[in-house]
Structure 1
């Protein structure tokens, strides 16, 4: 093993024999420390035990001379002669009980204060410094939360945990991140009050979970399904989620009514000041024609095939002899042909081009989309959509034996140099629905976000369509902020189509209070206090919305509680009390449910935390290379060491030894 130290001879490593038994080291170190080698000690670490060991400076000179004091013998190597094998361990600091929960609450509160200001129709913007380029202006709670890192390591732990609740809500429901953050802080703060009075944190956690289950059940009962074909219903949800912007509501309502709730809607930055929707009907994949000679529309440089046969072949096609019998049969039927295969090359591609140019057969060839198992899956989707049969190599079917009855059919196919779009497939409805159900089961079973995204794309191409919203704005900063807002509104609208809508403005959570109070009366012990925590925090989102609108939150909450209608509440945008559903102020039930569930989960974890462990912050050495400022090891008694400090990139000069 080696230990590093320095002297007037330069940086060295002390190597002890590998068979040195550690219990013998204290005596050996004591003999070295008490020797006349030097007067000042330097702390190093034992690479075998990781325990601090103190060596006197100047020890290497004794080791180099082979002094009898050094037992077991030590060998000194100049730095760089062999790469040192050192294990550096970062020391940790630990705090317990109130010393742990106090900083956690401080961190959670700082995060919640920054995020809370964005809640509601009159919420304020946050400006985020990205370190480069223009600052980012946003009203999105999760974007603000993700940009926050606190200096205190213990406070930062609390902030990061609540940030996780916001991110999880965004991943599942697409919105409600600010509500999740506000509820997390409120539950944690209320819980700490109970813990201070002597309540058991674990019992509180169980009570919190019971209350959340009751509240989410009430939300489900309260939810009203919306008609996916009703443009006005979809516009209501999208407008509220889009910060009460009617243009966002119109754009999303247009997109959803065209592609349905199973369709895929993407949001991209546009190239103009206008925001508009492009809808791709049918199935589209990113593969274009293999030869420009296939082009039928010279003006648009596209291949357009009507009432077309489709060959789905997994392998490469290069031999034209195997393909000729099929081409002859299709030529007799006087129908165009699209070949989708791993590749079409050589004689086979030349045969297709020549026959097309001579007017014998209208044909086109494209590469199959995807790779490996994903390619097989997409070919299977196209087969279900077009009523054809995908020819896989593991089935042992040769190209020569493929019949016209094995081919798929489509009313219209449009192919550019980059994309292929199939419209009006001839597949049976039962086959397509079976394929859709299979993909949905795979989506539920997968744990991979990437796989889930690809499966949803496949689902959309089979069951719905693809719509792209091109976001327009006057400046780049406005465009990015608007794009994030539309993306959140899209996700919230999707959630509303899945689980229905509830009254907005924090009213739905407030209306759950009666059911939670009933549960509180039926619960005993500290669990009852846990239920009471949830009862006390259900009004927090409404309070925050009212406060951001310039009103007293407590007054607004009391006024709403006195109103008899379940859908009546406070409209912060119009500054009036009304029937929120009739006024179009609604929230997706999935967003409200997910916000409460994730907030309670994180807050319960924080409440049951008894200790925090973080790394001890280490001050970084000033830039300028290896700086060894060890000073003079053993100068004259009256001179105290006269050492020259290290210069920037050069190692510092060791101190002068005792002067003769």
Structure 2
């Protein structure tokens, strides 16, 4: 396919037009008085959102140069969302400001490579100051405040803070759609996985359709159990102990299952059989997790253990096992704390090393089951459109709260960047000229988020930015009320990870914009000519 090439100013201006089109659509959502954007869908109801990355993903432009510019800025929003879970609009606004100022200087004759060097040095210094100014999150109220701002709803913030309080910072908080209106929090104690009993005959509580075993032994087997002869020696030992037995295996079938069911019905012996969760290697890993959590061992031929020779000391223990038709919960496994901690560290290392989002998500779930717990926030709304928008906001707020716990919080509302910028530029060792100009570009650009928040609130951005610069550190505009307040005391805060990631990712793309000298794109294909009208040639056919 033939290509088109644009050079110099033409290339950069084409990219800038695309960036501006995307950034202008995204930045109207910034701040407490930001507006929503409606995204048309090819099928189903349109989506209403104020999430920067969702809007950015939906934008495609006709002009090839402009579309490349928009794609570059999408990368800023996506990377910030991946790293920090929020701050996508701030990152887009910063990228636009850095590129606008930078291109002005390049057009005036500045060297793009020197500007890039100055921008990078200034951003590193501002990031360092941001981390220095961050305050650790120590209270439930602080988590509620930062999550509430992200979700633009204090009630959501409070619910997330409660969930984090219950499951810990390693715990998993998932968001599900609910049929009922409003918000609901459901907590899981212990390890839960999504496999239920193999036979309904194992039920001990017919009203709730649950099999509940108190203080049971837990047999964990990698393969299938079908031959009762393999199982009998162990069953006799468990029966002598007077404890119930929970079996977790790839499958329990045939005469082995019949024996367990018959003994349960007769009241001779209480047990429950459950299929192992997951598939393939993930199943093996999860069985090992269960074994470590309960202080047992996985009975597997690969490690030289067979069912017929298994003894009671290879079985796991727990205070309680609750099994429904769809899921199993192991409460207070009797595993060794040191071994559990070692397994947690191993999973953390795997998360850091993994490139796949799916693998990371599954590893995070395993980590939560071992280290924390699982909380489910159920969200309901009047319409499907509102429900999707609400669910997305809650998911963003959960990630925002986790980022706050990780690195601490700074003043929100664009104030942290201005405060960090006041001292960040003093000690920079840069060459006079274009490198110093690069640092100055950052100095101007870090005011952009505050100006945009003020503009969206119907105020004059430049006037607000000047006023905030002259206030004490940590004081700024509460755009919701129009008052100037101490941001942290007023509960207006954001995770430093969000602010830092937004600035670093915006600077990275801005540097690419400024140092671009040529852009190559596919030449649009001309539409095929329309077929001639066939009816015209039918005049002499005698009709």
State the TM-score bracket (shorter-chain normalisation): over 0.9
Q: Could you say which residue in structure 1 is the equivalent of 2:376?
A: 468
User: Going by fraction, where is helix more abundant, 1 or 2?
Assistant: 2
Measure the CA separation in 1 of the matches of 2:269 and 2:207. 21
| CA deviation map 1:394-433 (0-9, x unaligned) | 1121111111011100111111111111111111211111
Aligned partner of residue 236 in structure 1, secondary structure: helix
Pairing partner for 1:111 from 19, 22, 33: 22
State how 1:505-654 maps to structure 2 within 5 Å. 505-520=413-428, 522-564=430-472, 566-621=473-528, 627=531, 645=532, 647=534
1:444-478 residue CA offsets vs partner (Å, 9 max, x unmatched): 11111111000000001011111111111112121
In our comparison, the structure showing a higher alpha carbon Rg is 1
Q: 1:177 aligns to what?
A: 88
Alignment match, 2:33: 122
Return the offset for 1:133: 2.9
SS in 2 for 1:543: helix
Partner of 2:150: 241
CA contact (8 A) 1:519 1:531 kept: no
TM-score, structure 1 as length reference = 0.79
- For these two proteins, the number of residue pairs brought into alignment is 537
1:155-174 equivalences under 5 Å are: 155-174=66-85
Q: How does 1:176-575 map to 2 (within 5 A)?
A: 176-227=87-138, 230-243=139-152, 245-520=153-428, 522-564=430-472, 566-575=473-482
Q: Per-residue deviation at 1:93?
A: 0.8
Per the TM alignment, residue 483 of structure 1 is displaced from its structure 2 partner at its CA by 1.2
Alpha-carbon distance, 1:522 to partner: 4.5
Q: Secondary structure at the match of 1:554?
A: helix
Q: Are residue 99 (structure 1) and residue 6 (structure 2) matched?
A: no
Structure 1: distance between partners of 2:63 and 2:21? 12
Any idea what the Cα deviations from partners look like across 1:486-521, whole Å, max 9, x if unmatched? 111111111101111000000111112123321456
Point out which structure has higher relative CO (alpha carbons under 8 A, 6+ apart): 2
Q: d(CA) in 1 for partners of 2:64 and 2:318?
A: 61
CA distance in 2, matches of 1:197, 1:538: 22
The SS at the match of 1:339 is: strand
Q: Distance in 1 between matches of 2:178 and 2:200?
A: 29
**Is there any run of 5+ residues in structure 1 with no aligned partner, and where?**
1-89, 628-644, 654-660
Structure 1 distance, partners of 2:264, 2:339, is 33
Aligned-pair distance for 1:525? Answer: 4.2
1:512 partner SS:
helix
Give the secondary-structure state (helix, strand or coil) at the position aligned to 2:215: strand
Distance 1:158 1:382 in 2: 49
Coordinate RMSD, CA, aligned:
1.6
TM-score, normalising length: structure 2: 0.96
1:339-390 CA-partner distances (Å, limit 9, x unpaired): 1111111111111111212222111111111122111111111111111111
Q: How far off its partner does 1:136 sit?
A: 1.6
Mapped contact 1:223–1:500 kept (Cα < 8 A): yes
Q: CA deviation at 1:127?
A: 1.4
> Deviation per CA, 1:601-657, whole angstroms, max 9, x where unpaired?
11111111111111111233368xxx5xxxxxxxxxxxxxxxxx4749xxx99xxxx
Q: Matches of 1:122 and 1:494 in 2, distance apart?
A: 25
Partner residue of 1:140 out of 51, 58, 61: 51
Query: Secondary structure of 1:267's match?
Result: strand
Q: Does the residue aligned with 2:308 lie in a helix, a strand or coil? A: helix
